[in-house]
Amino acid sequence: MSSINYSEKIPNNVNLADDRALQRALEQWQPNFLSWWGDMGPEGSHGYDVYLRTAVSVDAGGWAHFDHVKMPDYRWGIFLTPGEADRKIHFGAHKGEAAWQDVPGEHRANLRRIIVTQGDTEPASVEQQRHLGLTAPSMYDMRNLFQVNVEEGRHLWAMVYLLHRYFGRDGREEAEALLERRSGDDDNPRILGAFNERTPDWLSFYMFTYFTDRDGKFQLSALAESGFDPLARTTKFMLTEEAHHMFVGESGVSRVVQRTAQVMNELKTDDPKRLREAGVIDLDTVQRYLNFHYSVTIDLFGADHSSNAATFYSSGLKGRYEESKRDDDHQLEGQTYRLLDVKDGKLVEREVPMLNAMNEVLRDDYIKDSVAGVNRWNKVLEKAGIDFRLTVPHKAFNRAIGTFAGVRVAPDGRIIGEAEWAANEAKWLPTPEDRAYVASLMGRVVEPGKFANWIAPPAMGINRQPVDFEYVRFN
Ligand SMILES: [Fe+2]
Ligand SMILES: [Fe+2]
């Protein structure tokens, strides 16, 4: 069950060979995927041999194989965490019933929508990041970028498998549409806002993988609880890969901060202008990037008050983060949750039925998890003897979805007027000058063991290889 036959066209642990029709459908989709990868995957990289991790089994002990591979030859496979015998639905109205091995007719439309929305984010991020290989600050970082990219490609495969296997003709049409939408396209954009933003530079990339891949972690964790067993098992395995994506973000920002702190100490200054002259990213700019990525990402959880979210939970389609570790009735009828609302120009708390607040419940769990990493970045500053501290802005800041859309809120949570917003926006969010400055630092560094001036080397290499290992062979 757990070992993957790599001689198959589509490596898998789902006995694809036993289902000819499904195998044929996926084999027809595969060249379209490869042609999408050719057009929208990492620019100019197709001939490189990259030291990549490939999923080769679902064993917790050793599921990955590392070797140099050309990315178009990467084996994008379909892996599900092994099923639990007699698994039961453990939340919502169907709690205690056997988990579904097939799509229940009544939940078909909602499940399809959930899978398509998740699936759409995967190729979107590859598209957003496709130019970054040209300006990698090191070979090590370039390899990490490509690792994230190929695995987002595999996550697309994971969702397409579910669509093909369980949703018949509409599933196949959705799978095609996933290759047709384009991040940022005016006519046919990706489904969710944050996935249509550009990821123009490496500071954005680290912020994205820290904050936005973490949104992925929380969405996948909620789906890993699903009563639809194939979805639960698929997303569980995706989470295994996702951890590395967040590591790339967390360690990336940490190394930026570390390098800036070092130069601050050398020059004995915190003046952004002098730091920029020295070619590092001043901490105010790091904070503005953080504010942007954090606020755009928490919008991804959806409206704070949502009847769809209630339906998804009650129907057993999407649980809470760590649903099974919670000690309540897992049905939540009659329970309430405190939401923030705007009243008379102030933020006030309001109690609502918890089922309608499921997006907010997940967002609040996400926020707790995000803050932990920001504190680790602050430890780097503390250790360097720098007083500056990075913070996450108030959750009402710069929101475009839900109650706070259209409300001007300062990072400290005060509701403010247009004038105060206009006077401070350049302090709170990246300005065109900030972006131009960061862009000016981007230049490719490709000698093994060398790093761009604005970022510190990592503490160690990938898969116990040295930091100066040849992670990418350009041929
Ligand atoms: Fe993903
Ligand atoms: Fe990811």
Instruction: Give residue-wise pLDDT tens across range 161-207.
Output: 999 999 999 999 999 999 999 999 999 999 998 899 889 999 999 99
Rounded to a whole number, what is the distance in angstroms from the first to the last CA of the chain? 37
Pairing verdict, β 64-70 and 336-343 = unpaired
Q: Which ligand is nearest to the CA of 248?
A: 2
Question: Ligand 2 center to residue 151 CA distance, Å?
Answer: 7
Amino acid at 187: D
- The pLDDT, as a whole number, for residue 4 is 58
For residues 324-337, give the mean pLDDT: 96
- The pLDDT, as a whole number, for residue 3 is 56
- The pLDDT, as a whole number, for residue 18 is 92
Confidence of residue 257 (pLDDT cuts 50, 70, 90): very high
Question: Ligand 1 center to residue 458 CA distance, Å?
Answer: 23
Question: Ligand 1 center to residue 150 CA distance, Å?
Answer: 10
Question: Ligand 2 center to residue 338 CA distance, Å?
Answer: 30
Measure the CA–CA gap between 335 and 341, rounded to whole angstroms: 19
What is the layout of strands, in order, in the sheet containing 472-473?
64-70, 49-55, 472-473
Element housing 258 (H / E): helix 229-267
Q: Residue 385 is encoded by which pair of tokens?
A: 């003897």
* Contact indicator for 394, 415 with CB cutoff of 8 Å: no
Quote the radius of gyration of the chain (alpha carbons, Å). 23
For residues 450-456, give the mean pLDDT: 98
Question: Is the confidence at residue 256, as pLDDT, over 60?
Answer: yes
Q: What is the pLDDT of residues 11-33, one digit of tens each?
A: 889 999 899 999 999 999 999 99
- The pLDDT, as a whole number, for residue 2 is 47
Amino acid at 279: G
Question: Ligand 2 center to residue 116 CA distance, Å?
Answer: 16
Question: Is the confidence at residue 340, as pLDDT, over 80?
Answer: yes
Q: Which residues surround ligand 2, an ion (CB under 5 A)?
A: 213, 216, 242, 245
Question: Ligand 1 center to residue 409 CA distance, Å?
Answer: 31
Confidence of residue 1 (pLDDT cuts 50, 70, 90): very low
Question: Ligand 2 center to residue 172 CA distance, Å?
Answer: 24
188 C-beta neighbours (distance < 10 Å), count: 9
The sign of the CA dihedral 332, 336, 342, 347 is negative
Confidence of residue 411 (pLDDT cuts 50, 70, 90): very high
Q: What is the pLDDT of residues 129-158, one digit of tens each?
A: 999 999 999 999 999 999 999 999 999 999
Question: Ligand 2 center to residue 453 CA distance, Å?
Answer: 27
- The pLDDT, as a whole number, for residue 5 is 63
Question: Ligand 2 center to residue 450 CA distance, Å?
Answer: 26
Pairing verdict, β 346-353 and 336-343 = antiparallel
Q: Which residues on neighbouring strands pair with residue 336, listed in sequence order? A: 353
- The pLDDT, as a whole number, for residue 249 is 98
- The pLDDT, as a whole number, for residue 11 is 86
- H helices within 268-393, ranges in order? 272-277, 283-298, 307-314, 358-383
Q: Which ligand is nearest to the CA of 234?
A: 1
Question: Is the confidence at residue 284, as pLDDT, over 50?
Answer: yes
